[in-house]
Amino acid sequence: MIKPLGIILAGGQSTRMGGGDKGLLDLAGKPLLAHVIDRLAPQASAIALNANGDASRFAAYNLPVIADSIDGFAGPLAGVLAGLDWASEHGASHIVTAAADTPFFPTDLVARLMTALSAQTPISMATTPDPERSNNRHPTFAIWPVALRNDLRAALTAGLRKVILWTDQHGCAEVEFAATPFDPFFNVNTPADIARARMLLAEGQS
């Protein structure tokens, strides 16, 4: 399997954490972002960080930092586009995205998402079971083809912001991951969430 390029999406505004970079919060002695890098690095051929503002705040990670090319806060799809443009410059055919605030995502994420790609489903996305809605889709954990980058640019320029609306237009395979003993795509949005993440690590649930 050819590993895709990895893009860590860190462009969110972190309003529920009071602003700032959630990825720089301490989790068991190292930044939350470092946990994400450790999970993604073995699954990707190279990694870049999608973040806006002063890139020097991430200098310690020695990663390329790529900003959104769409003006204003356009959401995760803008980060996907930035990643696709970066991948195109490096001759890659696909990227995998991961959120900077999700420290427990599966170590076989890429392998399973890649096997779900086909001509009919050029995008693949992680899901987990949900007893109320049958499943939860995790749009920031997906494989994206560089071939669709100009289509995505046009959609964003026209005002599209919802990930699912765009992926459904192009064919998206859904790959289900187990959600026991907890959802591996649990993300840190609030102070209570970071406390829970610390507890899960202390219990060895990683």
- Which of 3-17, 128-142, 152-166 is predicted with the least confidence, judged by mean pLDDT? 3-17
Residue whose entry in the numeric block shows the structure tokens 């410059």:
89
Please determine, for residue 20, whether its predicted confidence score (pLDDT) is greater than 70.
no
- 64 three-class SS: coil
The pair of structure tokens assigned to 24 is 């720089």
**Looking at residues 145-153, what average pLDDT do you find?**
97
For the stretch 38-67, pLDDT in tens is 999 999 999 999 999 899 999 999 999 999
Residue 74 DSSP SS3: coil
pTM across the whole model: 0.92
Q: Cβ of 95: how many Cβ atoms within 10 Å?
A: 27
Q: Could you tell me the sign of the dihedral formed by the alpha carbons of 19, 21, 25, 27, in that order?
A: positive
**What's the pLDDT at 180?**
86
Angle at 104 between CA 101 and CA 105, to 5 degrees: 90
Class for domain 5-202, per CATH? alpha beta
201 with 28: CB under 8 angstroms?
yes
pLDDT band, residue 27 (cuts 50/70/90)? confident
For residue 106, how many C-alpha atoms fall within 13 Å in the half-sphere facing its CB?
A: 23
Q: Where are the beta strands (DSSP E) in the chain?
A: 5-9, 26-27, 30-31, 47-50, 65-66, 94-99, 123-130, 134-145, 172-176
